[in-house]
Amino acid sequence: MSSNVHDTTSLSRLFHRNSEPWINEQADQGTVFSQKTKTYPHAIRVTLPETTPTDVDKIAAARRSERAFSDTPLPLARCAGLLRSAYAALGPDVMENGQKFLRRPVPSAGGLYPLEIYALVRNVEGLAKGLYHYDSIGDALEIIGQGPWENEAEEAFHTWGFVKHAPMIICVGAVFERSQSKYGPRGYRYILLEAGHVVQNLCLAAHDVGLTSLCMGGYQDSALNRLIGLDGVEEAVVYTVALGQSGDL
């Protein structure tokens, strides 16, 4: 069933606000871990040739999800590099019509870049504990909340036990209208795709400099949005990732 073409956001808002984490306590009881894939056994098969792994191949293959972070400060320069790898404004490039266009390190439908990057900083050298917004064009961190935030985060994250020692947690916020004003309900899909690109960049950049990461979708939207100061309607968190040193070091 399609939606009203003039109603660009109500369908996605309904889905977003009704897809809070679902905890199925019986899902793992008595079940065998299984990772399924698909194959076509009667199809003609073409064996792929050997290739030499690129640097990206090596980093991606070595990346792991971390569930125990070390209580080690994150250097500010490392923090800066991660933020730039995620969503820095690049360019400007000059388009065919002469207009200047700012790019990011990720693809974005229509070049609209609907995302905003927030950092929950616990232990970063040179930064006070608090909540920060990454000004991607100004290449700076803006303090939007000072002081401890861990108690509120513990209520928000179902994975808090894994990340309570992480020096920084990145929250990817989405300003929905930026994409949906052009693409309507489908713009919501584009936003989620873009958030995935951003977090993959963060994970690969972290591994490249000896850090580790844990991507998290298990959070209470209302609690986390409230912590950051987002209304959850016009703008809301769509993805989070903890970054830091491995606790196994």
- What tens-digit pLDDT sequence spans the chain (249 residues)? 455 556 778 888 888 888 888 776 666 666 667 789 999 999 999 999 999 999 999 999 999 999 999 999 999 999 999 999 999 999 999 988 988 899 999 999 999 999 999 999 999 999 999 999 999 999 999 999 999 999 999 999 999 999 999 999 999 999 999 999 999 999 999 999 999 999 999 999 999 999 999 999 999 999 999 999 999 999 999 999 999 999 875
The pLDDT value given to residue 249:
54
Amino acid of residue 98: G
The pLDDT value given to residue 31:
65
The pLDDT value given to residue 33:
73
The pLDDT value given to residue 25:
63
Spatial distance between the Cα atoms of 13 and 22, rounded to a whole number of angstroms: 18
Spatial distance between the Cα atoms of 208 and 203, rounded to a whole number of angstroms: 9
Spatial distance between the Cα atoms of 80 and 141, rounded to a whole number of angstroms: 9
Q: With contact defined as beta carbons under 8 Å apart, do 213 and 243 qualify?
A: yes
Spatial distance between the Cα atoms of 67 and 214, rounded to a whole number of angstroms: 7
Sign of CA dihedral 126, 156, 106, 98: negative
Q: What are the Cα distances from residue 74, in Å, to 26, 55, 134, 235?
A: 38, 24, 17, 28
Amino acid of residue 112: L
The pLDDT value given to residue 208:
97
CA torsion angle for 217, 218, 223, 225 (degrees, to 10)? 0
Query: 92 preceded by cis ω (within 30°)?
Result: yes
The pLDDT value given to residue 237:
98
Spatial distance between the Cα atoms of 5 and 26, rounded to a whole number of angstroms: 40
Torsion region of 139: left, alpha or beta (phi above 0 gives left; psi -120 to 50 gives alpha) = left
Spatial distance between the Cα atoms of 73 and 68, rounded to a whole number of angstroms: 15
Burial of 1 (C-beta count, 10 Å sphere; 0-12/13-18/19+): exposed
The pLDDT value given to residue 157:
97
Q: With contact defined as beta carbons under 8 Å apart, do 211 and 153 qualify?
A: no
Q: How many CA atoms lie within 13 A of 65 on its CB side?
A: 10
The pLDDT value given to residue 1:
45
Q: What are the Cα distances from residue 91, in Å, to 98, 103, 149?
A: 14, 6, 35
